[in-house]
Amino acid sequence: MRVFVTGATGFIGRHLTERLRSGGHTTTVLALPVEDVPEDDRYSVVRGDITDRSTLVGKLDGHDAIVHLAGAVGYGQTFERCNAINRDGTENMALAATAAGISRFVHMSSVSVYGRVDGVRLDEDAPLKKIGDPYGDTKIDAERALETIGADGALDVTMLRPTVIYGPGDDKFLPKLVENLKSGRARVIGSGNNSVDLIHVTDAVELICRCLEDPRAMGRVYNLTHPSNPTWSEFIAEAARLVGVAPPKGRLPYPVAYVAAAMMELIAKITGSEPRLTRYAVRVVGRQYHYSVDRAREELGFEPKIDLFTGLAECLDAAGSLPEER
């Protein structure tokens, strides 16, 4: 299969291109016109910008499928940027695909589309909810754009809704966790008894490839997380042990943590720095969510293989965050 990948130079994309090569697929990656992309035998490179549909004309011809990973994510995203990349960029890619005669489209969405509703079971048929979050709200818009474009059968879309993805090469979640643990200022948010919503990048990439290769995935939506993760208290204690520091002793009630994060974001905006804690992070770690992954198991036979403690140790080791003697 000849696969066209957006966001291929990012964290998840780098793992995906390797997995596609090992699976016998031919990969083309989309890079920005000014982006420095090293030569690599995993893929060929074409230049374009998902926010400018004219730059995509002719670039997708001859491909069998698209994996759309590109998106605006992380601290500091504005609605303007998320609308341009997450919403309009996804629509541009879908329209470029139909113009090139490509129907197979795998889209990386997010569980953020559910609006961070805690305490209830959220399967793929749960309602989507906007909460004023640029990332989650525009991911909803992107899904709706794909549904509209594919309504007449022009696209066979599969949407993946992962929780936080971690793994070797992650430059966001785990580095920030290690930084906070080493600072001695880390606190458990909420009770700490809620389960962690993380999935290893190797498992995420495996599901992407199954969706590409299995026709049963066409037109379907799949949640993606590990169903047997430990609690946040257990996870943070293990991370502290591996790093060689004392685990956090204090706790912050969820409302207090949320207000504190908002204040840190305001100060960071004024000073031009990055906050130690964000409201997004508080929403992710401070409440109990129940994302059902039964559909991927039942329809595609997918089971995550990497447990969180094994993956955590692997990542910290790869990042050089483990003490020399433990």
In sequence order, the β-bridge partners of residue 66 are 4, 105
Token pair recorded at residue 323: 């003490």
For the chain, the structural domain boundaries read 2-167+197-229+291-307
Determine the Cα–Cα distance for residues 225 and 304; give it in Å rounded to an integer. Answer: 8
pLDDT of residue 40: 80
In our burial notation (b when 16+ CB lie closer than 10 A, e otherwise), range 31-47 reads beeeeeeeebebbebee
What type of residue is 73? V
pLDDT of residue 39: 77
pLDDT of residue 324: 62
pLDDT of residue 319: 75
> What's the pLDDT tens digit per position in 178-234?
888 998 888 899 999 999 999 999 999 999 999 999 999 999 999 999 999 999 999
pLDDT of residue 276: 84
Classified as helix, coil or strand, 48 is coil
pLDDT of residue 325: 54
pLDDT of residue 243: 92
Low-confidence ranges of the chain (pLDDT < 70): 324-326
In our burial notation (b when 16+ CB lie closer than 10 A, e otherwise), range 14-23 reads bbbbebbeee
Pairing mode of beta strands 104-108, 156-162: parallel
Topology given in CATH for the domain delimited by 2-167+197-229+291-307: Rossmann fold (3.40.50)
Q: How many CA atoms lie within 13 A of 237 on its CB side?
A: 9
Closest CA to 199 of 311, 313, 70, 322: 311
pLDDT of residue 41: 80
pLDDT of residue 250: 83
Q: Which DSSP letter does residue 56 get?
A: G
- Asked whether 20 and 205 are in contact (CB, 8 A), the reply is no
Token pair recorded at residue 196: 């962690």
pTM of the model: 0.93
